[in-house]
C-alpha cells in the first residue's frame, strides 16, 4: 500500500521555497521551476500565476519568487512584515542598466509598472529612463512580495 503525503507549502517561506528546483534545458542552460509533483490546480500554482501578473510563465518571475522567499527566510519572526516587503523589493531591484533594459525587453507590457508609478506620483516623467525602469521594477517586485507574504499569512 502506497501512502501519499501532502505538503502544506504555505507554512513558512522555507517550506514554500522547497517547492522550487533548478532544471536544465537541452542547451545546458538552467532555470527555476516548480518541482514536478506540484499539482497544476494547487493553491501554490495559483499563487505563482498571480505573481506572474498576466505574463506567460517566464524565468524572471520564477527566479524572483524564489529570491523573495529566500529574502523572507532571512528575517526574524517578530519582523514588521509590511516594512520588510519594501526592503525586500528595494534589495531585489536591479541597478544594472543592461539588466533593467533586458527586464523590459523580455516583456514590454512591464512598462505598465512605470506608468502606474507615474500615475501614483511615485515616478516623475523627467526622471532618466533607467530610473523610471528601476522604479517600475521595484513596484513589480513589491507587488509580488506582498502577494507572497499575504499567502504565507505574514500580512493581511
**Per-residue pLDDT tens digits of the chain, which is 156 residues long:** 444 457 789 999 999 999 999 999 999 999 999 999 888 889 999 999 999 999 999 999 999 999 999 999 999 989 999 999 999 999 999 999 999 999 999 999 999 999 999 999 999 999 999 999 999 999 999 999 999 999 999 998
Q: How many domains does the chain have?
A: 1
Asked if residue 128 belongs to a domain, the reply is yes
Q: Which domain holds residue 90?
A: 13-151
Asked if residue 6 belongs to a domain, the reply is no
Per-residue DSSP letters for the chain?
--------TTS-HHHHHTTEEEEE-TTS-EEEEE-TTS-TTSHHHHHHHHHTTTPPP-HHHHHHHHHHHHHHHTS-TT--HHHHHHHHHHHHS---HHHHHHHHHH-GGGHHHHHHHHHTTSS-TTS-HHHHHHHHHHHHHHHHHHHHHHHTTS--
Asked if residue 3 belongs to a domain, the reply is no
**Residue 2: predicted pLDDT:** 47
Asked if residue 51 belongs to a domain, the reply is yes
**Residue 156: predicted pLDDT:** 85
**Residue 3: predicted pLDDT:** 47
Asked if residue 156 belongs to a domain, the reply is no
Asked if residue 1 belongs to a domain, the reply is no
Amino acid at each position: 500500500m502506497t501512502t501519499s503525503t501532502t505538503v502544506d507549502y504555505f507554512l513558512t517561506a522555507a517550506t514554500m521555497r522547497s517547492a522550487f528546483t533548478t532544471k536544465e534545458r537541452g542547451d545546458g542552460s538552467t532555470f527555476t521551476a516548480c518541482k514536478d509533483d506540484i499539482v497544476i490546480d494547487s493553491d501554490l500554482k495559483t499563487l505563482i500565476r498571480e505573481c506572474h501578473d498576466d505574463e506567460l510563465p517566464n524565468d524572471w518571475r520564477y527566479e524572483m519568487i524564489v529570491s523573495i522567499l529566500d529574502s523572507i527566510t532571512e528575517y526574524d519572526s517578530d519582523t514588521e512584515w509590511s516594512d520588510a516587503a519594501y526592503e525586500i523589493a528595494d534589495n531585489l531591484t536591479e541597478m544594472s542598466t543592461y539588466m533593467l533594459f533586458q527586464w523590459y525587453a523580455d516583456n514590454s507590457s512591464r512598462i505598465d509598472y512605470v506608468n502606474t508609478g507615474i500615475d501614483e506620483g511615485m515616478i516623475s516623467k523627467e526622471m532618466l529612463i533607467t530610473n523610471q525602469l528601476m522604479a517600475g521594477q521595484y513596484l513589480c517586485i513589491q507587488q509580488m512580495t506582498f502577494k507572497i507574504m499575504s499567502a504565507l499569512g505574514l500580512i493581511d
